[in-house]
Amino acid sequence: MECLCLHDRIQFHIRIPMRLIGLLACSLLIGLLPTPNDALNNGLALTPPMGWLTWQRYRCQTDCKNYPDDCISEDLIVRQAKHLAADGWLAKGYEYIIIDDCWSMKERHPDTEKLVPDPQRFPKVTPLQLTAADLIDKSSK
């Protein structure tokens, strides 16, 4: 004969409600979690900004006489923009062409102290603005 002591009966009766409370608490917490739609609608991009950076491949090559295809110049930037479009990189989300370094002259403008594009490598009147206009035609920034 099995004896159900008072202690065993109390423990049995308390276990069921505690499990139900735990289950309800977990269900409530899961219900409060953001849905995937809420998580994606947070103002952030789904991918990081993607683009092509002159420094990554060409470093600071400014000798256009000996390295005409590899020097940082207006021609190089426009060629790369065309490649981004033609090779399908724009369709994959690559939208920036970054002229990182070595586009300017060594001396700053004497009056404004601003960097000045090298007129030998960027020959247009307002080099970077006109180059940007060429790139806009290719849907780059």
Can you tell me whether residue 54 is helix, strand or coil?
A: helix
Structure tokens given for 130: 């006109």
Structure tokens given for 119: 């007129």
- The pLDDT-based confidence of 120 (bands split at 50, 70, 90) is very high
- The predicted pLDDT at position 134 comes to 59
Structure tokens given for 51: 């683009």
- The predicted pLDDT at position 109 comes to 93
Rounded Cα distance, 140 and 137, in Å? 8
Each domain of the chain, given as residue ranges in start order, spans 6-33, 50-137
Rounded Cα distance, 93 and 26, in Å? 40
- The predicted pLDDT at position 23 comes to 81
Average pLDDT for residues 33-48, to the nearest whole number? 70
- The predicted pLDDT at position 108 comes to 95
Closest CA to 92 of 43, 137, 51, 132: 51
* Element holding 135 (H helix, E strand): helix 127-137
Between 128 and 100, residue with greater pLDDT = 100
